[in-house]
Amino acid sequence: MKTVKLNIFGMHCTSCAMNIDGELEDTEGVKEAKTNYAKQVTEVTFEPDKVSVDQMISTIKKIDDNYDAEVAEKSNNDDRA
């Protein structure tokens, strides 16, 4: 498992954050998504052999035309099961 933090642009409310979490968690290879509306950041735990960061960013952009995302921080968490 790996974790990536993404800066999210275009969210207007906490429902936006919930929509992003839901769509990401419905994506194969994504174990968990935690979006913080106040910080405009989402942290995603994922399986890199099943989904790429670019695919996750694309998923976010497809939710709403106003949304955009970029990598804020990557980390390796191979010890998580």
| pLDDT at position 80 over 50 | no
pLDDT in the model for residue 76: 62
Please give the structure tokens belonging to residue 39.
């910080």
Domains of the chain in start order, with CATH, are 2-76 (3.30.70.100)
Cβ-based neighbours of 15, under 8 Å, separated by 6 or more: none
What mean pLDDT is predicted for residues 8-24? 96
Write down the pLDDT at residue 81. 44
Residue 70 — left, alpha, or beta (φ > 0 → left; ψ -120 to 50 → alpha)?
A: beta
Q: What is the pLDDT of residues 26-68, one digit of tens each?
A: 999 999 999 999 999 999 999 999 999 999 999 999 999 999 9
Q: Do 10 and 64 meet the contact criterion of CB atoms below 8 Å apart?
A: yes
Helices 14-25 and 53-63 pack at an angle, to 10 degrees, of 130
